[in-house]
């Protein structure tokens, strides 16, 4: 959280400003990142067809009338097996416990899975009085009668404050959700400047963009055994930026996969990441990628700091 707070000049006693944190929790691939980007109106969180792509708690900031809604996109909650997994799940529940409002995302076509039930069971550990709303996502995949039956089943399993049925990808139902969130946040000065859409450093946003392009390009091969760090950032006199990034892989054989034949894979990834980064920043970017082998990077505290996770949360 920033130390600066902002009270807009147009705030009135009849319409006081509100601000607070909204945690998005759910199973991997439930659509949390898509909903975050839909609410903010810009791409601030990595979105792919792969599960478990969000590693750090990413805050996206949406303005709605006199309310500033700060979304915390947490990693998907799943049964952890490795140190990295445990740190990701701890980050997810940490984001929920610190929030003013919690949204539980459930995929309409998957329903009340064992993983979803485990999340509902864990909600009992949240602070008393924290509003928890149910968000049934991807409603375009099932029929209306099935949605009503699922909503009834889920509300019997946990006493949700409200229920919303949405398609985060298409934006259906998101306006009603946004309206309710704006009313539910506590009265408060704004926590961030009005024009800020995320509180991640640009170095981390740039690394997330490159990691997304790698995930999309490599499909089933090694996405979960690599990480990307922005090693250097240099502002140039002409207004452009030079960005040097390192892709860390866990095994020597993975380096060749990431590089591709004649370097074609890493070249395509770098080009796609550069185009998106330039669009995000609104200026020229010179992006340089290297691939290095760090066989034990998942057990290095420094790597966790770079991706916004707590190394000690992974202790088994």
Distance (Å, rounded) from C-alpha 29 to C-alpha 24?
12
| pTM of the complete model | 0.61
| CA distances for 250 relative to 21, 226, 295, 297, angstroms | 35, 7, 4, 7
CB hemisphere CA count around 40 (13 angstroms): 25
Q: 30 CB contacts (<8 Å, ≥6 apart)?
A: 76, 105, 106, 107, 137
User: Tell me, what's the pLDDT at 313?
Assistant: 52
Residue 234 · residue 266 · CB < 8 Å = no
pLDDT higher than threshold 70 for residue 5? no
Q: Mean pLDDT throughout 2-21?
A: 61
Question: Hey, what domains does the chain have and what are their CATH numbers?
Answer: 18-184 (3.40.50.300), 202-314 (3.30.300.20)
User: Tell me, what's the pLDDT at 96?
Assistant: 58
pLDDT higher than threshold 90 for residue 267? yes
C-alpha 288: how far from chain center: 25
C-alpha 170: how far from chain center: 18
Distance (Å, rounded) from C-alpha 139 to C-alpha 146?
10
pLDDT higher than threshold 90 for residue 147? yes
Considering only residues 304 and 263, tell me which one the structure prediction assigns the higher pLDDT: 263
Q: Cα-flanking dihedrals φ and ψ of residue 68, to 5°?
A: -110, 115
User: Tell me, what's the pLDDT at 291?
Assistant: 94
Residue 131 · residue 102 · CB < 8 Å = yes
Calculate the average pLDDT of the chain. 79
pLDDT in tens, 61-118: 888 999 999 887 665 444 445 555 555 555 544 555 678 898 999 999 999 988 888 8
User: Tell me, what's the pLDDT at 194?
Assistant: 79
User: Tell me, what's the pLDDT at 153?
Assistant: 95
pLDDT band for 223, please (50, 70, 90 cuts). low
- Kindly give the pairing relationship between strand 241-249 and strand 132-137: unpaired
Q: 226 CB contacts (<8 Å, ≥6 apart)?
A: 211, 214, 247, 248, 249, 250, 254, 258
pLDDT in tens, 154-198: 999 999 999 999 999 999 999 999 999 999 999 999 988 877 766
Tell me 244's DSSP state: E
Strand partners of residue 6:
190
Distance (Å, rounded) from C-alpha 307 to C-alpha 244?
16
Considering only residues 198 and 250, tell me which one the structure prediction assigns the higher pLDDT: 250
Distance (Å, rounded) from C-alpha 284 to C-alpha 271?
12
């Amino acid at each position: 959280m920033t130390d600066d707070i902002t009270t807009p000049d147009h705030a009135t006693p009849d319409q006081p400003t509100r601000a607070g944190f909204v945690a998005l929790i759910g199973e991997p691939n439930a659509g949390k990142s898509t909903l975050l980007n839909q609410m903010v109106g810009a791409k601030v969180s990595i979105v792919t067809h792969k599960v478990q792509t969000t590693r750090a708690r990413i805050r996206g900031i949406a303005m709605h009338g006199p309310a500033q809604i700060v979304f915390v996109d947490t990693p998907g909650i799943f049964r952890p097996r490795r140190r990295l997994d445990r740190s990701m799940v701890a980050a997810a529940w940490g984001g929920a416990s610190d929030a003013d409002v919690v949204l539980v995302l459930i995929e309409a076509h998957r329903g009340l899975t064992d993983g979803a039930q485990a999340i509902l069971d864990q909600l009992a550990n949240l602070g008393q009085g924290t509003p928890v709303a149910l968000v049934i996502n991807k409603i375009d995949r099932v029929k209306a009668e099935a949605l009503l039956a699922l909503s009834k089943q889920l509300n019997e399993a946990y006493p949700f404050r409200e229920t919303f049925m949405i398609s985060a990808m298409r934006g259906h139902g998101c306006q009603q959700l946004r309206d309710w969130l704006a009313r539910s946040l506590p009265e408060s000065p704004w926590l961030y400047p009005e024009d800020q859409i995320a509180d991640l450093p640009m170095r981390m946003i740039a690394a997330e963009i490159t990691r997304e392009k790698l995930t999309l390009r490599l499909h089933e091969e090694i996405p979960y055994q690599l990480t990307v760090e922005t090693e250097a950032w240099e502002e140039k006199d002409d207004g452009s930026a030079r960005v040097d990034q390192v892709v860390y892989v866990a095994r020597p054989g993975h380096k060749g996969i990431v590089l591709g034949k004649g370097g074609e894979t890493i070249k395509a990834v770098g080009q796609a990441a550069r185009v998106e980064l330039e669009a995000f920043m609104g200026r020229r970017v010179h992006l340089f990628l290297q691939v290095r082998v760090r066989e034990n990077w998942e057990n290095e505290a420094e790597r966790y700091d770079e991706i916004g996770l707590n190394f000690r949360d992974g202790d088994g």
